[in-house]
Amino acid sequence: MENNVKVNVLFFGKARELAECDCKKTSLPKNVKYEKLKELIFQEVVPELQSIEKACILAVDQRYVDQKRGFDPDEFQ
Amino acid sequence: MDDLSWTAGLTKEQAGRYSRQVLVQDFGVNGQKNASTSKVLIIGAGGLGCPTATYLAGAGIGTIGIVDYDTVSLDNLHRQVAHREQAVGTSKVESLKIMLNSLNSSIKIITHEATLNSKCAMEIVKLYDIVCDCSDNAATRYLINDVCVLLDKPLVSGSALRWDGQLTVYHYGKEGPCYRCLFPSPPDPSTVTNCSEGGVLGPVVGVIGSMQALEVLKMVAGLPCSFAGKLFLYDGRSGSTRTIVLRKRSPRCAVCGDEPSITAPIDYELFCGAGAHDKIERIWLLEQNERVSVEEYRDIRRIARPLLIDTRPPIEFEIAHLPEATNITLNDLSKLDSAQITEKLKLNATENDQKKDLFVICHRGNDSQRAVKIIKEKGNFEFLSVRDVSGGYDEWATKVNPNFPVY
C-alpha cells in the first residue's frame, strides 16, 4: 500500500522474550499518531506484548516517541 | 625556601598510584582531585555492584558506600567476582569492603547492611554525591529514583539479564529525565524475570558495571555524561550496541515534574506489587488435597512409576530431573489441547475405570500449581487426579535427595 512503509520492529529485554524473536518485519502507515502506533504494535503486530504494554517504551529510529511525537518516517530522512 | 612538603597538584602517593589515569587527557589532575573528595553510593553488592565498586575504588573515589541486605551464595560467584569462596554465607557488603580495602587502603568504605526502604533511604542517600543503582528489582529501582530526585542526586542506573545489559543516567542536569518520566507505571510482577529465573552471564554485568563506573568518573571530572537522557542497550550475544535518545524530563512526572505528587518516599512494595528483592516468592493457588509433599511423592514412586510432568524450561530440565518426568513447559501446557497433552504423556483413558494419578513438578512449587490449574481447566482429564509436588525440586533436594543438583 502506498500509504504504508515497511519497518523492522526490534525487541529488547522482556519484549524479545515474549515475542520469541529479535525483530519482526511489518508495514505501518506513513504517518500515525502515538496512540495509534501503540495500538498497532501491541494489538496487531505483536499481541504477545500486551501483558507488558504499560511498562514498554517505543523508539523510532532510536529516538523515544510519546504522545507529542508520533511516527513520521519523513522526519528522519 | 623550605619547600620539601609543598605539592602543586597531587601528593607523591597520589601521583604514584593514579598516574596512569591522571595522564589521560580531560581527566587529569582535576579529575583525580575531585575523585578523592567524591562520595559515591553503590546500591547492590552483586553482579553490577562488584565491578562498579572495584573500578571506583581503584580510581580513588574518596568515599564509597555500599548497600545490600544479602549474603554471598555459591551461585553468585560466576558473576559477582569481587566476592571469594570463603565469603559464601557472609554479608555481601562486608565481603566487598574487604576486597575494596585490599585494592585501595587509602579510601573510605562505608557499609550499609540493610534492605533499602522508604524509612532509611533518604538518610543513607543524603550522605553521598552520586548514586549507582546496581539493584535487581522494580520496587528498589523506583525507591532509588524517587530518593535521588528528592535529594537532587544524579543516578547511574544499570541492569542486566541473560545476554543483555542496559545503562542510563537519570536525573542529570536541568532537563534530564528520571526513571518515572519513562516508566510511570511499574511492570506487572508476573511479567518480571529476574536473574534467579532467567540467568545472566558474568561478563555482561561486567560490561555494564564498568560503564557505570566510567559514567561516575566523567561526572567527578566535570565532563559531560554520555548516557544522561540516553538508554544504552548491549546485546552480548550478537555483540551489538544501540543508544536510544530518550525524552526530556516530563513536566507531568509524579516526582520530578512541575507539580509533583510524590514529595517523600512511598511504599514501593505496594506500588510495584512485589518485594524489594529478586528472590522467588511462594504462591498458594491450590487446595491441600491438590498437592503432595515431597515425602509423599517419594513414597508413591517407591510403589510404582508415577506419571510426572516437569514444567521447567528445557535448559533446566537438562540440568537435572527425575527419571519418570516428561518435560512440558508451562507455556506449552497453555498452548496444547487435551489430545496433544494426552499424546505427550502416552496416556490411555480407556485402560481401566480407576482414576490415574498425574503429578506436576517444577523448580520451587509455583509453576507446578499454575500447571495443575491449567490442566484442570482444559477438561477431558476427568480420569486423572492431578496434583503438584509441593516445593518442587528445591524441596526434593532438601528433604529427600541431598544429591539432587540445586541451582
Taking CA–CA distances from B243, the nearest residue in chain A reads A62
pLDDT tier for residue B284 given thresholds of 50, 70 and 90 = confident
Residues of A with CB below 8 A from B183's CB? Answer: 55, 57
Contacts of B227 (CB under 8 A, 6+ apart): B167, B168, B169, B211, B215, B243
Q: Which amino acid is at B22?
A: V
- CB-based contact A55 B187, cutoff 8 Å: yes
Residue A3 has pLDDT above 90, yes or no: no
| Cα B248 to Cα B232: distance, rounded to the nearest angstrom | 16
Q: Is B195 a known active-site residue? A: yes
Residue B2 has pLDDT above 80, yes or no: no
Residue B351 has pLDDT above 70, yes or no: no
Rounded to a whole number, what is the distance in angstroms from the first to the last CA of chain A? 20
Q: Annotated binding site for ATP: which residue ranges of B?
A: 47, 68, 75-79, 92, 136-137
Residue B242 has pLDDT above 80, yes or no: yes
pLDDT tier for residue B348 given thresholds of 50, 70 and 90 = confident
**Which fold, B288-399?**
Oxidized Rhodanese; domain 1 (3.40.250)
Taking CA–CA distances from A63, the nearest residue in chain B reads B245
Contacts of B311 (CB under 8 A, 6+ apart): B328, B329, B330, B333, B360, B361, B362, B367, B368, B370, B371
All cell numbers assigned to B157: 542506573
**What pLDDT was estimated at residue B273?**
84
- CB-based contact A62 B242, cutoff 8 Å: yes
Phi, psi for residue B39 in degrees, rounded to 5: -120, 120
Q: Nearest-CA distance from A67 to chain B in Å?
A: 11
Listed by start position, the domains of chain B span 38-272, 288-399
Rounded to an integer, the average pLDDT of B223-250 is 95
**What pLDDT was estimated at residue A76?**
43
Going by the DSSP 8-state scheme, the letter that residue B82 receives in this structure is T
| Cβ neighbourhood burial of B204 (10 Å; 0-12, 13-18, 19+) | buried
- CB-based contact A17 B243, cutoff 8 Å: no
Pick the residue of B245, B331, B332 with the most A CBs within 10 A to test the interface with A by mutation.
B245
| Cα B155 to Cα B170: distance, rounded to the nearest angstrom | 5
Q: Is B132 a known active-site residue? A: no
**What pLDDT was estimated at residue B278?**
75
Give the mean pLDDT of chain A: 85
Lowest mean pLDDT, pick from A29-33, B131-135, B224-228, B303-307:
A29-33
**What pLDDT was estimated at residue A45?**
94
| Cα B43 to Cα B141: distance, rounded to the nearest angstrom | 10
B229 vs A3, which has greater pLDDT?
B229
Going by the DSSP 8-state scheme, the letter that residue B187 receives in this structure is P
Lowest mean pLDDT, pick from A65-69, B197-201, B219-223:
A65-69
- CB-based contact A14 B192, cutoff 8 Å: yes
All cell numbers assigned to B325: 518426568
| Cα B116 to Cα B369: distance, rounded to the nearest angstrom | 32
Give the mean pLDDT of chain B: 93
**What pLDDT was estimated at residue A77?**
35
Residue A49 has pLDDT above 60, yes or no: yes
Residue B256 has pLDDT above 90, yes or no: yes
What is the C-alpha R_g of chain A?
12
All cell numbers assigned to A5: 512503509
Reported as type and span, the H/E element at residue B335 is helix B330-335
Residues of A with CB below 8 A from B185's CB? Answer: 54-55
| Cα B97 to Cα A53: distance, rounded to the nearest angstrom | 40
- What are the tens digits of pLDDT across the range B64-112? 999 999 999 999 999 999 999 999 999 999 999 999 999 999 999 999 9
| Cα B226 to Cα B135: distance, rounded to the nearest angstrom | 21
**What pLDDT was estimated at residue A33?**
87
Q: Nearest-CA distance from B374 to chain A in Å?
A: 18
Q: What share of chain A is helix, strand, coil (3-state, %, to 5)?
A: 40, 30, 30
Residues of A with CB below 8 A from B242's CB? Answer: 62
Rounded to an integer, the average pLDDT of B195-204 is 85
Contact B311, B360 (CB under 8 A): yes
CATH architecture of B38-272: 3-Layer(aba) Sandwich (3.40)
A8 touches chain B (CB under 8 A): no
Rounded to an integer, the average pLDDT of B111-129 is 96
B99 vs A13, which has greater pLDDT?
B99
Q: How many CB atoms lie within 10 A of CB B33?
A: 18
Q: Annotated binding site for Zn(2+): which residue ranges of B?
A: 178, 181, 253, 256
Residue B386 has pLDDT above 50, yes or no: yes
- CB-based contact B187 A12, cutoff 8 Å: no
- What are the tens digits of pLDDT across the range A65-75? 877 665 655 54
CATH architecture of A4-68: Roll (3.10)
Pick the residue of B167, B175, B178, B188 with the most A CBs within 10 A to test the interface with A by mutation.
B188
Residue B393 has pLDDT above 60, yes or no: yes
**What pLDDT was estimated at residue B120?**
96
B252 touches chain A (CB under 8 A): no
Listed by start position, the domains of chain A span 4-68
Q: How many CB atoms lie within 10 A of CB B341?
A: 21
Going by the DSSP 8-state scheme, the letter that residue B280 receives in this structure is P
